[in-house]
Structure 1
Amino acid sequence: MGSSPSRTAADGAFRKRRRLSSSGSVKQSEATDIERSTSGIASQHRRKASITAEELEMAKMREKTAARQRLLDQFPDLADSFSYLKKIMNELDDNATEDIDAKTMSLSSKKNLEELLDFSFKHEPTEHKRILGDEIADNNGGKIFTEYMRALLPMDCENSTYRDECLGLLKSVCWNYSDASSEFTLALGRAGTFQVLVDEIKSNADDLGDNYERYGIILQSVSVLHNCAKSSDSKVYMDEANVLDALVPLLKAEIPEIKIIATLTLAYIIEEKDNAIISTDNTVIKFIRRYLRKAIKSQDHKHDGFRVEEIVSGLMRLASNDQNKEAIVNQGVLPLLRELLDIGNEGEKSIAAKTIWVLSFSKENQRKIRECEGLMDALRKLSMTNGQWKPSAIGAIWVLEEEQRLNKANAEKIIQSMPSSLPTRLPPLHPASIQRKKKISVAGNMAGSISMAPGLFQSKIEFPPNAQQEEYDSDDDMHTPRIPMSDMKVMGGDYGKNETNEYDSSGQHIMISYQWDYQKLMIRVKDEFESLGYRVWIDVESMGGSTLQAMADAVEKSAIVLLCMSRKYKESPNCRTEAEYAYKLEKTLIPLKVEKSYEPDGWLGALQGAKLYFDFSDLAEFETVFTKLTKEIGTRAKIPPEPKEEPIISIKQTDLANPARPLVKNWTSKEVKDWVSINNVHMKNLSSIDGQILLFLKNLKDTAPEFYYRFLHDRLGMTELRSLMNLNNALEALIE
């Protein structure tokens, strides 16, 4: 029952945790990045090609209101409670001033709180409690509850038994609704509730001995903090209240319920710099593993009131700190997660798959995950069936099979970086050479053939038999020619030469990589870039694990990737998968700071390194910072103007039939244009195509068709199907 208390908790007395009831899944902590991000976006707006930040915000608000109304219409009892709740909150607000001045709680206010607690048990589903919790927050609930706690806490208050009963009731209400409503959690944080709870924990934690009444007080306070800690947005308020300092001593508590809930709360709030507190001797990880094993083996999948999902969720949060990843796997957690992928319910399978995804960012863990019997098969099975688990299963497999994907992407990058004019002699591509990132080129005539990277082209490009091979590097079983790039002769310029143009004609874009909470800000950035003529790619409907390939395509086709650094970005396996893939493809990364109170740490801090970042956390400075960012990007990913159409030259058929006409291999570019025109072929950029290149294209059509068609489309602007048919027929009839 790590989520919310039973009714018996309201009397303030200590109860064994296993007797407390569970109120269902902790959706707030266990939802995938996709569930967090897709909530509240109207589908008609998601499908728009372009949407402003204001439109998006309005769409979210409309969808949230509409979703709430649908639930209220569907459940009349919930609608009645929702309506009555407003009356309760108004009465509490009216009575609060007089009660707080008297450092007590009136009987009518106590009755109001009991009714709020009853609502949380009457409306058990998380979505129902979320609506009620949001409404409490909207009606000043955080401030009212916190002021009552401050008034009732001094030990010298009269009628301490009644005071303790009222305090227990207050904390029970907070305990229950913080389980479901992030808005209520933030309301408590803003009102200073965390500081009140920390002070109470510290005042009761010294010399506990066997004082079960004080243990009960601590249990309630830590349980509220545990639920609130699951919301990353509450982290700043947790830090202000020094929650970490209050909970660390409880790791040595004699009663397991106190120790486990303090441990799981710390898992949510501890940062890389403080990680040694819980990772020095792996005691904490071993303790959580024991709880998880006992919970899995129990019939109801609980141990001491803690559900499997809660325990795994805490373990996953510990794993978000890279220092803990290998320690967790070394403590034998993988077989337990593997078991959950088979026998767990939907929520258990989902959180188990997501935890494996997080653990897989360690290279050493990747090997052990692959070697864990049946684990990869279980992930693949889940990745092919619909359910909460699917995005996480796909994400884990993606990371575990990354090396093969990187090889293919690097080969694709080399193909796309070829010059706008086809070279007379193409550089060979070899998967091993791509993996080693060696620059390879060819001078003179090459003999034989080269094979493209596996999966890109299944064909070979043939070279003339009179090949001249230059110096070679030997690397195990392969030989690769290595000649200076300056020796590579290309029609229209040197291969690899970095020419400065006013516009970027590569077709690449600026990719914005961000966590969903900052969508409004990033939509504004996108709009500003597009207004200046830049190509921009941004995910406005959260692709998630099921379409990671779309993310990969976006990364591969990017000129620049903007990394929007925030605490949630660092904690998200989706965001990490995206950012690290861009890094490994050697894309230009530009960090943007979007969360004022967050300094990048862990993997994100390492990725930022010494890079210059642009601070968008202060909206008042948006225009100034954006101008600096635009200057840094320059003309990369900027859309060029429409090219001028080359005139189509008409000539008579008899002109081409002239016997005195030179052989095709001796044709000039003008004669090629004549041939193109007479065959009703519409192409652009023909100035660099002569007879030799034309014959080479004919050969490519048969030996490397994918490259041939891509070249026609990207470099020669061929878009009409009939024109393509005419070209193929003309090439077939061409006599060398």
Structure 2
Amino acid sequence: MARYTDFTKDLNKAIDQVCSSEYQEMFEVVAKDPPYSFTMEQRILIDRYPNLITWYNGDQRHIVVERIRRTHLKWYDNWLTQYNTGQPPYVKWNSTMEQAILHLHNLLFRLDLGDIFTSDESYKECRKIADTVKRILVSVIKSNPITIDQAAVPYVRMLIQILFYFSVDNDLAIYLKSLELVNLMNDLLRTSNNDNEIHLNAYRILAVILVEADLKQLQNSDRIATVFIDFMKNTIDQGVTHEGRLHNILRSLKALTQHEQIREELIKQNGSSLFLRCVMEDKDLLKAKLPALEIILALAFNKDSATLLKDNANFMDCIRTLTSSSEQTIQRVATALIWKLEKDEPTIPSGTITTKKQYDIMISYSHSDKDLCHRILESLEKDNFKVWIDSHMMHGATFDAMAKAIENSEFIFICMSDAYKQSSFCEMEASYGIKRQCRIIPLVMTPNYKADGWLGILTSPFTYIDFPKLGSSRAYEELKKQIQLIRMNDLSSTVIKQDDLHHNTISSVHDRLKTTPNVEIKKEPRQVVDYPDFIDKWTEHHVESFLLEKELNILLPVIEGMDGQLLHQTYSMCQANQQSMFLLFREDIARSQQTILSLREYLTFLKEIKAYIPHTTGKQLNSTSTVCNLM
């Protein structure tokens, strides 16, 4: 009891002293001309007291941290503005300055340790600090357009670390996106002479603010993966004492794995072995285990990676054990992995699609968007729609319940947002809904959101309902109209078996669309066509017959009227930009035929045509692009 009382007295004294103007004055003295070592008074106030507060983890911690923030955030922004122009001479840097900054940042900004903001005033001041940091970093780049002055490197490390801490908070992350930091981060990566600390934090910030187009523009997925893998190796080898750092690295990398290019690079560079170590080794790395499992789940969407995981008996045994973990979040991800690797069906089994559904609607959403989703749910239920929604974070057998809900729902609402795209659980739901050929209606959940990557590909054929743009009431009315329209189209459409279409020309296909399903149509054998070896010599008849022979009749409306030369040009366009052409084909077919072009059909088309394309020297484009592993 005496020791506890002494600690409480020391802690209260430390808090009072750190929240005093004396602390600010002493910090500025040290920062202006950092001594080689602290005086006793400086060591107590700038080193010992902040360290004591940092290690305090009691019930009142959030109150203590908020008091310190109210005292120092505005002052800190003023100090940054006054003494840090981004122009030489830079802030002097040595071990005492490093200690002073480290302890102050631990008190003000360590959101990654759970010190969330609890007041609007703190958010306001942090947004100002983010503005200041951006301005200073831009100034540094202007002064050092080729390579950052070595004297500025520690200073840049300090500033970019602040932005990383802000990126952990959802609201501040949104604000960072509004600052358009991608080009600035790219400039820092380019000019920092491969400084690992700067690169790591730049990539961790980019992990939060990047969209698919930004990643393509940067063209450095391999470097991103390498930096994270190298830091992971070093941190894992250092053991439990660096678990917090490892957790931060993995959490940032988890955000990046929403991008297919990053997934491919992690697999190519054998990053999976490190994630398996985090999950399977006996080290007490509980904090690191969860994000490592989440990354493995994201990589399981790659077919080759999934096969390797499934064939790893030790890993599968470990995951089965974790499905009974006392940690609910770990149990949830482990259960998802088992479902993904062992139960997720690659195609729709014949005869399993039923016309009668238990639910009208299944809502697939991220819990970050639950408020808007539940308002939509309330409106749907008032209008007597039968709705399945997961109101709790799924774990245990409910992954099977999710699959059954998709199979037994007439419509699947995909509630799109950044959080949805970053969630492997949401990706599982959306992908399974597409595989089951469900009626999909994408809903935009957050302002100005544009789906890209795997989510953009899956939802591209469908009409979006943008709730923030239209407003809740109008958007809901549009949603009901869309449901009604799809139902009317279903009633008026004629069911045609694909097998019947394979043996008919384009004209007979259009004729067939006018027939009723009860009319028996006699199949006639198709004439064998001799195709010229060089595609440019093909006629329109050759092209048409080729598609029918290869059972690619779904492409007939897109290719209609093309001769061999035009088909050759189309193939070249597909090779130059496979993802865009896939989306273009898919949208055109969805509009004209009310059906969906599958990735398999698209890639089969490219594969079959390739045999008739003349060989050219030079670098060949890979026909299995990054699109391939999205399904």
**TM-score of the pair, normalised by structure 1:** 0.53
Which of 333, 345, 350 is the aligned partner of 2:290?
Answer: 350
What's the Cα RMSD here?
4.4
Tell me by how many angstroms 1:609 deviates: 0.3
**Residue 153 of structure 1: aligned partner:** 84
Task: Determine the C-alpha separation between the residues in 1 that align with 2:419 and 2:405.
Answer: 21
**Residue 306 of structure 2: aligned partner:** 366
Return 565-574 or 145-154, whichever deviates more.
145-154
Alignment of 1:57-136 (within 5 A): 117=50, 120-124=53-57, 129=61, 132-133=64-65
**Residue 408 of structure 2: aligned partner:** 557
Determine if the alignment matches structure 1 residue 396 to structure 2 residue 247. Answer: no
Provide the aligned length of Structure 1 versus Structure 2.
454
**Residue 476 of structure 2: aligned partner:** 626
Unaligned runs of 5+ in 1: 1-73, 100-110, 419-505, 638-736
Structure number with the bigger relative contact order (C-alpha 8 A, sep ≥ 6) is 1
Residue-by-residue CA offset, 1:555-593 (whole Å, 9 max, x unaligned): 222111111111011101111111111121111111111
Task: Determine the C-alpha separation between the residues in 2 that align with 1:577 and 1:327.
Answer: 21
Task: Determine the C-alpha separation between the residues in 1 that align with 2:384 and 2:11.
Answer: 52
Tell me by how many angstroms 1:278 deviates: 5.4
Code of the residue aligned with 2:109 in structure 1: it is W
Tell me by how many angstroms 1:328 deviates: 0.9
Tell me by how many angstroms 1:290 deviates: 2.3
Tell me by how many angstroms 1:143 deviates: 5.9
Tell me by how many angstroms 1:75 deviates: 12
* Residue aligned with 2:441, SS: strand
* Residue aligned with 1:183, SS: coil
Determine if the alignment matches structure 1 residue 195 to structure 2 residue 147. Answer: no
Alignment of 1:409-420 (within 5 A): 411-414=351-354, 417=355
**Residue 197 of structure 2: aligned partner:** 257
Code of the residue aligned with 1:547 in structure 2: it is T
* Residue aligned with 1:592, SS: strand
Task: Determine the C-alpha separation between the residues in 1 that align with 2:101 and 2:237.
Answer: 36
Residue-by-residue CA offset, 1:435-486 (whole Å, 9 max, x unaligned): xxxxxxxxxxxxxxxxxxxxxxxxxxxxxxxxxxxxxxxxxxxxxxxxxxxx
**Residue 574 of structure 1: aligned partner:** 425
Which of 591, 599, 603 is the aligned partner of 2:442?
Answer: 591
Task: Determine the C-alpha separation between the residues in 1 that align with 2:255 and 2:178.
Answer: 21
Residue-by-residue CA offset, 1:120-164 (whole Å, 9 max, x unaligned): 514247x86556556777x697666545533443479999889x9
**Change in 2 beyond 3 A, CA 1:136/1:558:** farther
**Change in 2 beyond 3 A, CA 1:516/1:129:** farther
Contact 1:189 1:238 (C-alpha < 8 Å) held by counterparts = no
**Change in 2 beyond 3 A, CA 1:313/1:295:** same
Tell me by how many angstroms 1:78 deviates: 9.1
Contact 1:616 1:622 (C-alpha < 8 Å) held by counterparts = yes
**Residue 265 of structure 2: aligned partner:** 327
**Change in 2 beyond 3 A, CA 1:278/1:582:** same
Contact 2:86 2:136 (C-alpha < 8 Å) held by counterparts = no
Code of the residue aligned with 2:54 in structure 1: it is F
Tell me by how many angstroms 1:113 deviates: 9.8
**Change in 2 beyond 3 A, CA 1:147/1:204:** same
* Residue aligned with 1:276, SS: helix
Contact 2:414 2:430 (C-alpha < 8 Å) held by counterparts = yes
**Residue 560 of structure 2: aligned partner:** none
Alignment of 1:144-543 (within 5 A): 145-147=76-78, 149-154=80-85, 171=105, 173-177=107-111, 179-183=113-117, 187=123, 191-205=127-141, 206-207=143-144, 213-251=151-189, 252-276=192-216, 279-280=219-220, 282-300=222-240, 302=242, 307-343=245-281, 344=283, 345-372=285-312, 374-387=314-327, 388-404=329-345, 411-414=351-354, 417=355, 506-543=357-394
**TM-score of the pair, normalised by structure 2:** 0.61
Tell me by how many angstroms 1:335 deviates: 1.9
Tell me by how many angstroms 1:350 deviates: 1.6
Determine if the alignment matches structure 1 residue 613 to structure 2 residue 464. Answer: yes
Which of 452, 466, 482 is the aligned partner of 1:601?
Answer: 452
Code of the residue aligned with 1:308 in structure 2: it is L
Contact 1:508 1:559 (C-alpha < 8 Å) held by counterparts = yes
Tell me by how many angstroms 1:230 deviates: 2.9
Residue-by-residue CA offset, 1:473-519 (whole Å, 9 max, x unaligned): xxxxxxxxxxxxxxxxxxxxxxxxxxxxxxxxx53231222111222
Contact 1:142 1:187 (C-alpha < 8 Å) held by counterparts = no
**Change in 2 beyond 3 A, CA 1:82/1:286:** same
Tell me by how many angstroms 1:236 deviates: 3.0
Code of the residue aligned with 1:121 in structure 2: it is T
Task: Determine the C-alpha separation between the residues in 2 that align with 1:204 and 1:219.
Answer: 12
Task: Determine the C-alpha separation between the residues in 1 that align with 2:472 and 2:258.
Answer: 31
Task: Determine the C-alpha separation between the residues in 1 that align with 2:325 and 2:151.
Answer: 49
Task: Determine the C-alpha separation between the residues in 2 that align with 1:386 and 1:190.
Answer: 37
* Residue aligned with 1:510, SS: strand
Residue-by-residue CA offset, 1:621-652 (whole Å, 9 max, x unaligned): 22122112122223999xxxxxxxxxxxxxxx
Tell me by how many angstroms 1:221 deviates: 1.0
Contact 1:514 1:563 (C-alpha < 8 Å) held by counterparts = yes
**Residue 502 of structure 2: aligned partner:** none
Residue-by-residue CA offset, 1:78-109 (whole Å, 9 max, x unaligned): 999899989998x88xx99xx9xxxxxxxxxx
Code of the residue aligned with 2:110 in structure 1: it is N
Higher helix content, 1 or 2: 2
Tell me by how many angstroms 1:546 deviates: 5.8
Identity between Structure 1 and Structure 2 (%): 20
Task: Determine the C-alpha separation between the residues in 1 that align with 2:406 and 2:68.
Answer: 43
**Change in 2 beyond 3 A, CA 1:246/1:155:** closer
Contact 1:295 1:301 (C-alpha < 8 Å) held by counterparts = no
**Change in 2 beyond 3 A, CA 1:169/1:402:** same
**Change in 2 beyond 3 A, CA 1:293/1:188:** farther
Task: Determine the C-alpha separation between the residues in 1 that align with 2:241 and 2:48.
Answer: 31
Tell me by how many angstroms 1:312 deviates: 2.6
Code of the residue aligned with 1:191 in structure 2: it is R
**Change in 2 beyond 3 A, CA 1:549/1:86:** farther
Tell me by how many angstroms 1:322 deviates: 1.1
* Residue aligned with 1:350, SS: helix
* Residue aligned with 1:562, SS: strand
* Residue aligned with 2:443, SS: strand
Unaligned runs of 5+ in 2: 29-43, 488-631
Tell me by how many angstroms 1:253 deviates: 2.9
**Change in 2 beyond 3 A, CA 1:140/1:556:** farther
**Change in 2 beyond 3 A, CA 1:604/1:132:** farther
Task: Determine the C-alpha separation between the residues in 2 that align with 1:316 and 1:198.
Answer: 25
* Residue aligned with 1:374, SS: helix
Code of the residue aligned with 1:592 in structure 2: it is L
Contact 1:513 1:579 (C-alpha < 8 Å) held by counterparts = yes
